[in-house]
Amino acid sequence: MAILVILISSAISFAFASDPDTLQDFCVALPSSSETGVKVNGFACKELSNVTESDFFFNGLANAATINNTVGSVVTAANVEKIPGLNTLGVSLSRIDYKPGGLNPPHTHPRATEVVFVLEGELEVGFVTTSNKLISKTIKEGEVFVFPKGLIHFQKNNNADKPAAVVSAFNSQLPGTLSIAAALFSATPAVPDDVLALAFKIDAQDVSNIKTNISSKK
């Protein structure tokens, strides 16, 4: 009997740990609710009478974006902030464009697994496990690679002459992005210099130099 109770309790806990089914056809995000107020896995719903086809449409991924930064890549997001109709649906897309030699620096998505599909070019991609193992591969046009939720990952265009591009899919309407270098060296308020120096085994001047370099590249 005790074992049966444990099994039933485990099953109930598992059931309530997953996302519930939606109780309506959709819940288009109300623009004002994305700016203020408490948000719990979504935004307030727009009145049905005010919903239009434009709430489910976005053409921002059709063309390559202009790249004006030193890392040589740019991300164009198609998430709930761009497509209000994605609210509560748990999916989104992005397009990433890379200059020749461009890098999408190490980062994480705390709320989503990412799948990339190569539109053009060839990329070196990889992620690091919690046991510090690097899983990496070179991928080319038409191929797919997966980055598990929350793990540090990157993409680099190794071609010195040709650009590259991918489309990324996420199982979140707003996956979030945490850039490792920027988070540590340009946080506000700042992470204490002695913490960074000790963590990376560098001196205070090195910390200052890195902060200056990252700040100048924003």
Q: What is the pLDDT of residue 214?
A: 85
Same domain for 110 and 154?
Answer: yes
Q: Does residue 148 sit within a domain?
A: yes
| CA separation for the pair 119, 142 (Å, rounded) | 6
Which residue in the block uniquely carries the two structure tokens 């919690």? 130
Q: Does residue 152 sit within a domain?
A: yes
Residue 197 backbone phi and psi in degrees, to 5? -60, -45
Same domain for 71 and 130?
Answer: yes
- 41 annotated ligand binder: no
Could you tell me the residue range of the domain that residue 128 belongs to? 61-176
Listed residue (153, 171, 164, 149) closest to 79, CA to CA: 171
Same domain for 194 and 104?
Answer: no
Q: Does residue 17 sit within a domain?
A: no
Residue 191 backbone phi and psi in degrees, to 5? -65, 130
Q: How many Å is the maximal CA-CA distance in the chain? A: 69
Q: Does residue 23 sit within a domain?
A: no
Q: What is the pLDDT of residue 11?
A: 45
- 79 annotated ligand binder: no
| Structural domain count, the chain | 2
Same domain for 171 and 182?
Answer: no
Residue 170 backbone phi and psi in degrees, to 5? -130, 150
- 157 annotated ligand binder: no
pTM confidence score = 0.85
- 114 annotated ligand binder: yes
Same domain for 151 and 181?
Answer: no
Same domain for 188 and 124?
Answer: no
Q: What is the pLDDT of residue 43?
A: 87
Same domain for 184 and 169?
Answer: no
| CA separation for the pair 82, 74 (Å, rounded) | 16
Hey, what are 32's tokens?
Answer: 């004002």
| CA separation for the pair 211, 194 (Å, rounded) | 13
| CA separation for the pair 57, 155 (Å, rounded) | 28
- 107 annotated ligand binder: yes
Same domain for 142 and 197?
Answer: no
Same domain for 111 and 152?
Answer: yes
**Mean pLDDT in consecutive groups of 10 residues from the start of the chain, 218 residues:** 50 49 86 63 87 97 95 97 94 98 97 97 98 98 98 97 98 95 94 96 94 75
The helix/strand/coil state of 117 is strand
- H/E stretch holding 138: strand 134-140
Same domain for 76 and 153?
Answer: yes
Same domain for 157 and 210?
Answer: no
Q: Does residue 186 sit within a domain?
A: yes
Same domain for 155 and 206?
Answer: no
